[in-house]
């Protein structure tokens, strides 16, 4: 065992909060086994052997984006080869197909489209809610929310953000995904995603959502030009924002952290290696250890691959996202936009790793289903008639 990890292990076993220095020591250590064991200890305290997945569909409504982030291979400019935007009807149709196939959630995000009006987004939500009322709509990153505040001339300030979120919630928005956070650091921001909102605005959007009673997620995009100190700082800001939501008694809060490994292919940063599998495992484990007030750590199998996500269940992960079906933002190993895993494969991977697969809805209520029909039950009521 790496001797430097001994005092950290003592803290973890005693249930004490880790410091930024502890986070850095963990990320610098090559003792991935001890780090994994500690994260597994915490994960089992939260969830035992339960491992969550959901039946969902990711919908990327447009890849046209006003920004040009260097890590992103998804965005196009209007008129570029491959640029697309779905109509509201297209999106509603895809959501209906998902619901008919038994999905409990649609995850909808897109580029910062320069011309689509605010009504496009509210019509999309209202259309889905009318056509598939049971489907949970998790949509729009904090970056899109600020964009919508600007295009609807409400400004990117707190009042504008709050009023946009209230309107979207009224139209059917169920929760916010964790995207767009990247790395909370100004140097990295200016070098890799200049023009995007900074950390304070990303956090302000999530805080406003929590106040309005919306659950949200958080991501960190690692393995590009950020330092290990930047990663730890990101964890600290997330942990602090979650403390605030809890202390203030907001009905909304962060549910899940999703560490996203940078996939270099076809991006402006293609010359970089991106993180290795060992870095992936360490990041997932350190997320579990640092974010002691987040209930869930998700491995997004689309990016981490299902093989590594399965291994990650022993490194603090308790969630593997879902069936996904179509995904356009990243394509590992030359995958096409159609990226789907069946429930059987997801469950098999979880069982093989020694854990218990549990289908969840977006709010982590257990799902009982009969084919495409389903109902959500609070965990305590599972199996009860």
User: Which residues are near ligand V47 by CB under 6 A?
Assistant: 71-73, 141, 177-180, 182, 217, 219, 221, 258, 260, 262-263, 267, 300, 303, 321, 329-330
Least distance CB 271 / ligand V47 (angstroms): 13
Residue nearest ligand V47 (C-beta atom): 179
* Shortest Å distance, C-beta 339 to ligand V47: 12
Q: Is 50 or 263 the residue whose CB approaches ligand V47 more closely?
A: 263
Please work out, in degrees rounded to the nearest 5, the angle formed at the alpha carbon of residue 281 by the alpha carbons of 304 and 345: 45
Q: Which is nearer to ligand V47, 8 or 135 (CB)?
A: 135
CA dist 328 and 61 (Å) reads 10
Kindly tell me which of 127 and 180 has the beta carbon lying closer to ligand V47. Answer: 180
For residue 207, the minimal CB distance to ligand V47 (Å) is 17
Cα–Cα distance, 11 to 36 (Å, whole number): 15
Kindly tell me which of 125 and 260 has the beta carbon lying closer to ligand V47: 260
CA separation for the pair 92, 87 (Å, rounded) = 9
Q: CB-based contacts of 31: which residues, under 8 Å, 6+ apart?
A: 1, 2, 5
Report residue 80: phi and psi, to 5°.
-65, 155
Distance CA 237, CA 227 (A): 16
Q: Which C-beta is closer to ligand V47: that of 37 or that of 319?
A: 319
* 146 torsion bin: left (phi>0), alpha (psi -120 to 50), beta (else): alpha
Of 300 and 364, the one with the shorter C-beta distance to ligand V47 is 300
Q: Which is nearer to ligand V47, 25 or 172 (CB)?
A: 172
- Supply the angle between the helices 158-171 and 118-131 in degrees, to the nearest 10: 30
Q: State in angstroms the smallest separation of the CB of 333 from ligand V47.
A: 13
Work out how close the CB of 19 gets to ligand V47 at its nearest, in angstroms, rounded to a whole number.
Answer: 27
φ, ψ for residue 215, nearest 5 deg? -80, 150
Pick 92 or 143: Cβ nearer ligand V47: 143
Q: Taking the complex as a whole, how short is the minimal distance between the CB of residue 302 and ligand V47, in angstroms?
A: 7
To the nearest whole angstrom, how small is the minimum distance from the Cβ of residue 219 to ligand V47?
5
Q: Which is nearer to ligand V47, 121 or 300 (CB)?
A: 300
| Nearest distance from C-beta of residue 324 to ligand V47, angstroms | 8
The minimum distance between CB 46 and ligand V47, in angstroms, equals: 18
Token pair, residue 27, equals 């990320």
Evaluated on CA atoms 92, 166, 69, 230, the torsion sign reads negative
Positive or negative, the CA dihedral 376, 320, 24, 289 is positive
Minimum Å distance from CB 33 to ligand V47? 26
Nearer to ligand V47, 25 or 305 (CB): 305
């Amino acid at each position: 065992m790496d001797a430097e990890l001994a005092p950290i292990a003592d803290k973890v076993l005693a249930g004490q909060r880790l410091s930024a220095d502890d986070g850095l020591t963990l990320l610098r250590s090559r003792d991935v086994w001890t780090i994994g064991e500690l994260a597994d200890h915490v994960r089992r305290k939260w969830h035992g052997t339960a491992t969550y997945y959901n039946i969902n569909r990711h919908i990327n409504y447009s890849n046209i984006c006003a920004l040009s982030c260097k890590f992103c291979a998804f965005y196009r400019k209007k008129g570029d080869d491959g640029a697309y935007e779905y109509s509201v009807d297209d999106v509603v149709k895809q959501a209906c197909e998902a619901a008919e196939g038994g999905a409990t959630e649609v995850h909808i995000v897109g580029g910062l489209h320069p011309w689509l009006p605010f009504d496009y987004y509210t019509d999309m939500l209202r259309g889905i809610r009318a056509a598939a009322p049971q489907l949970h709509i998790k949509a729009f990153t904090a970056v899109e929310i600020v964009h919508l505040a600007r295009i609807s001339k409400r400004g990117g300030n707190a009042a504008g953000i709050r009023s946009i979120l209230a309107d979207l919630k009224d139209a059917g928005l169920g929760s916010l995904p964790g995207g767009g956070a990247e790395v909370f650091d100004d140097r990295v921001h200016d070098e890799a995603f200049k023009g995007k909102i900074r950390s304070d605005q990303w956090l302000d959007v999530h805080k406003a959502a929590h106040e309005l009673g919306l659950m949200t997620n958080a991501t960190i995009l690692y393995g590009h030009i950020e330092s290990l100190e930047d990663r730890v700082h990101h964890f600290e800001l997330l942990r602090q924002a979650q403390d605030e939501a809890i202390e203030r008694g907001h009905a909304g809060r962060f549910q899940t952290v999703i560490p996203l490994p940078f996939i270099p292919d076809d991006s402006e940063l293609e010359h970089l290696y991106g993180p290795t599998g060992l870095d992936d495992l360490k990041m997932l484990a350190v997320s579990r250890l640092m974010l002691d007030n987040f209930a869930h750590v998700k491995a997004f199998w689309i990016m981490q691959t299902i093989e590594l996500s399965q291994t990650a269940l022993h490194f603090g992960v308790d969630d593997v996202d879902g069936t996904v079906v179509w995904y356009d933002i990243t394509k590992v190993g030359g995958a096409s936009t159609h990226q789907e895993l069946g429930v059987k494969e997801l469950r098999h991977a979880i069982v093989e790793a020694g854990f218990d697969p549990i289908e969840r809805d977006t709010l982590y209520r257990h799902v009982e289903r009969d084919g495409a029909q389903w109902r959500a039950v609070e965990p305590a009521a599972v199996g009860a008639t």
